[in-house]
């Protein structure tokens, strides 16, 4: 009877008692959680690839990891003791995927309950493409100008091509790769420099080479210059003859800039040989342009000239000197 009475006391208002027990448990948990602390750390994010596929879009280097636990649990933890991994090695086909970030603690760290680890962001949208490589030409950017009167005649790069690697679409879109800049300022002689190859983007890897040898060849600048209204000199003409009117032509020559800048035609530069003319009349004879061997005649307004030769008018007789009359 006594046992029955005790049982009746226990089971009496059982529903109310259960609610009280549940409420007590909830209050205990809430109280425990209220005493938990949070700590957020910036943790390096490690991206794992299998070598066949690679990411096309940028992936942050760090994620935020929040630890919720008792103060004595989280106080000594450092970012280096937490590993955050974005594992892309599970994917074997090109495409866009939501890839979760996995977390793990160093084996030296033991968190006692209650403890909670969360990462922000939890997932990354990653576009994966096949990783490929190809050879592309190496180009050399130049800046500055050589000394006045000189110019670059050619540039030789060795090796002439570089091997790059990266996402398929990016590698296929690259036509060339550049070295660091070569400066020509105040140069007039051939020279050789070794320059590093420039990174195109963080998605593209330069497999080889990392630098190139550059031979730059310079020479005197070749320019053209046109001379207009140059009078023709009629050489060898018998002194008793003269040309009825003067004649002019234009001509263009090419040569080294420094030399050609100082050249100006003289009155004898453009000539017509009249030594064979024996009588007045109309003639058509070739023109000779006398210039330095270093120059080349590119064009002239005419190669022959028509002109009229006439006799010079007789000079009037000299007047007798006047004399004073006799006184």
CA dihedral over 87, 88, 91, 97, signed as positive or negative: positive
Least trusted range by pLDDT, from 68-77, 214-223, 245-254, 274-283: 68-77
So what's the pLDDT on residue 104? 86
Residue 275 to residues 111, 148, 209, 234, Cα–Cα distance (Å): 116, 44, 71, 9
**Mean of pLDDT values over 63-79:** 78
Q: Which two tokens stand for residue 163?
A: 């091997």
**Mean of pLDDT values over 276-286:** 94
pLDDT per position as a tens digit, 142-186? 999 999 999 999 999 999 999 999 999 999 999 999 999 999 999
pLDDT per position as a tens digit, 33-61? 445 678 888 999 999 988 789 999 989 99
Q: Among candidates 302, 243, 305, 318, which has minimal Cα distance to 272?
A: 305
pTM exceeding the 0.75 threshold for the entire prediction:
no
Give the pLDDT band of residue 4 (cuts 50, 70, 90). Answer: low
Q: Topology of domain 35-121, per CATH?
A: RNA Polymerase Alpha Subunit; Chain A, domain 2 (2.170.120)
Q: Are 120 and 157 in contact (CB under 8 A)?
A: no
pLDDT over 70 (residue 259) = yes
pLDDT per position as a tens digit, 202-249? 899 999 999 999 999 999 999 999 999 999 999 999 999 999 888 999
So what's the pLDDT on residue 211? 95
Q: Among candidates 141, 139, 138, 137, which has minimal Cα distance to 183?
A: 141
Q: 131-220 falls under which CATH superfamily?
A: YbbR-like domain (2.170.120.40)
So what's the pLDDT on residue 270? 96
Give the pLDDT band of residue 134 (cuts 50, 70, 90). Answer: very high
Residue 158 to residues 177, 203, 209, 216, 327, Cα–Cα distance (Å): 13, 25, 10, 12, 107
Element (H, E) at 66: strand 62-69
**Mean of pLDDT values over 298-309:** 94
Residues of the chain with CATH 2.170.120.30: 35-121, 222-311
3-state secondary structure of 116: strand
What is the C-alpha radius of gyration for the chain, rounded to an integer number of angstroms? Answer: 48
So what's the pLDDT on residue 19? 64
So what's the pLDDT on residue 119? 92
3-state secondary structure of 57: coil
First to last CA, the chain: 200
Residues of the chain with CATH 2.170.120.40: 131-220
Q: Topology of domain 222-311, per CATH?
A: RNA Polymerase Alpha Subunit; Chain A, domain 2 (2.170.120)
So what's the pLDDT on residue 50? 83
Percent of the chain with pLDDT over 90: 66
So what's the pLDDT on residue 27? 46
So what's the pLDDT on residue 227? 96
Average pLDDT, the chain: 86
pLDDT over 60 (residue 20) = no
Give the pLDDT band of residue 30 (cuts 50, 70, 90). Answer: very low
Which DSSP string do the residues of 177-232 spell out, in sequence order? Answer: EEBSPEE-TT--S-EEEEEEBPP--TT-EEEE-SEEEEEEEEEEPEEEEEEEEEEP
């Amino acid at each position: 009877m006594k046992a029955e009475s005790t049982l009746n006391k226990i089971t009496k208002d059982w529903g109310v008692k259960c609610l009280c027990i549940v409420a007590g448990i909830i209050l205990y948990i809430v109280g425990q959680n209220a005493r938990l602390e949070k700590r957020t750390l910036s943790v390096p994010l490690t991206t794992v690839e299998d070598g066949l596929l690679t990411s096309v879009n940028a992936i942050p280097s760090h994620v935020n990891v929040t630890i919720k636990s008792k103060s004595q649990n989280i106080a000594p933890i450092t970012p280096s003791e937490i590993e955050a991994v974005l594992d892309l090695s599970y994917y074997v086909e090109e495409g866009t995927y939501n890839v979760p970030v996995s977390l793990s603690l160093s084996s030296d760290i033991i968190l006692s309950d209650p403890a909670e680890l969360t990462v922000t962001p939890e997932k990354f949208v990653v576009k994966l493409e096949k990783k490929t490589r190809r050879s592309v030409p190496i180009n050399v950017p130049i800046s500055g100008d050589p000394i006045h009167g000189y110019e670059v005649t050619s540039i030789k790069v060795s090796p002439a091509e570089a091997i790059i690697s990266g996402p398929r679409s990016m590698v296929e879109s690259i036509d060339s790769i550049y070295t660091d800049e070569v400066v020509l300022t105040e140069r007039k002689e051939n020279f050789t420099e070794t320059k590093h190859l420039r990174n195109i983007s963080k998605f593209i890897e330069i497999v080889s080479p990392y630098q190139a040898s550059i031979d730059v060849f310079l020479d005197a600048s070749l320019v053209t210059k046109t001379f207009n209204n140059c009078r023709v000199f009629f050489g060898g003409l018998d002194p008793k003859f003269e040309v009825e009117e003067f004649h002019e032509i234009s001509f263009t020559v090419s040569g080294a800039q420094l030399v050609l800048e100082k050249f100006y035609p003289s009155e004898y530069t453009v000539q017509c040989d009249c030594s064979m003319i024996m009588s007045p009349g109309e003639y058509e004879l070739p023109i000779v342009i006398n210039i330095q061997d270093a120059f080349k005649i590119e064009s002239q307004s005419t190669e022959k000239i028509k002109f009229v030769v006439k006799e010079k008018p007789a000079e009037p007789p000299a007047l007798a000197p006047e004399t004073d009359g006799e006184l």
